[in-house]
Chains A and B, each alone.
Chain A
Amino acid sequence: MVVDPPETNATVSRELALAYPILADSDLAAVSAYGLREVGGGPDGRDIARSASVLIDRDGIVRWRIVADNFRVRPTPRTVLEAVDALDAPSR
């Protein structure tokens, strides 16, 4: 999910051969609903989304999230996979 328009996302998706959809949230409606609006964080002072990963379970409940406090640091694939595995752990 990103504030860029679908045309930009189509280019990025093609160049990086992404297997998942990129959703355009140009007016930051969903970004704001998820509490991830970063005021003035864009290159021209516009609002953008904070880097974040949110894991939603089969019932539509938010079960895990990582919100960046440093835009250089992102969760590793292993961290995300462990969170996905924990979704189905019996001790929930």
Chain B
Amino acid sequence: MKQTFAELGYPGRLVAVEGLDGSGKSTQIYLLKRWLEMQGLKVFFSEWNSSALVKSATSKGKKQNLLTPTTFSLIHATDFADRYERQLVPLLKAGYLVLCDRYIFTAFARDVVRGCPPEWVRGVYSFAALPDLTFFFKASLEVSLSRILDNRPTLKHHEAGMDLDLSPDPYESFRIFQGRIFEQYLAMSTEFRFMVMDANLRIEEQQGIVRRLLAAQVNLASFQRG
């Protein structure tokens, strides 16, 4: 069984947020970060799919539709490994509170929906320790969908899951795709001890819960700068 950073003896702690696009998780982690920063704590924030070098290949692959489920999975794993080894691990060793907008569970959900074998995907990411705290923002599927789709955005090919041939209509494809990802999250939620957040609550209510839960689990005072 995989271990958390605390169990592995790191002085730092990693907090991850997971959930569908439109679940409000990015807003919540941003507010959490602001709160921690203003207390003068050592905080670092990291986003999914953001390592500079890998980004060039990822965007090329997505633009030109070069990606298959396997290469899609591997290129995101490469991106994650780059951030993990160069930023997350050193900062956790240096005693930081690391906040991650999406972590390995995003890959577990998406890649499996795309048809990669679950054991293979988990094996690929097995170098990564588990978060000390994972918030899963569970909004009803309809709410998440309408938050994204109401503005009639231009959905990118992979974002809409168009590579899965679910529907020729990108919006319909997005709905089906997100629905399947949602099921994957639910299936993982017990196994990985997700803190399930009711993402239909008001922003402030959610933030209050997130702050209380974090403060209960982590001795925040020990993360003071300097």
Are A and B part of the same complex? Answer: no
Q: Which residues of B contact A (CB under 8 A)?
A: none
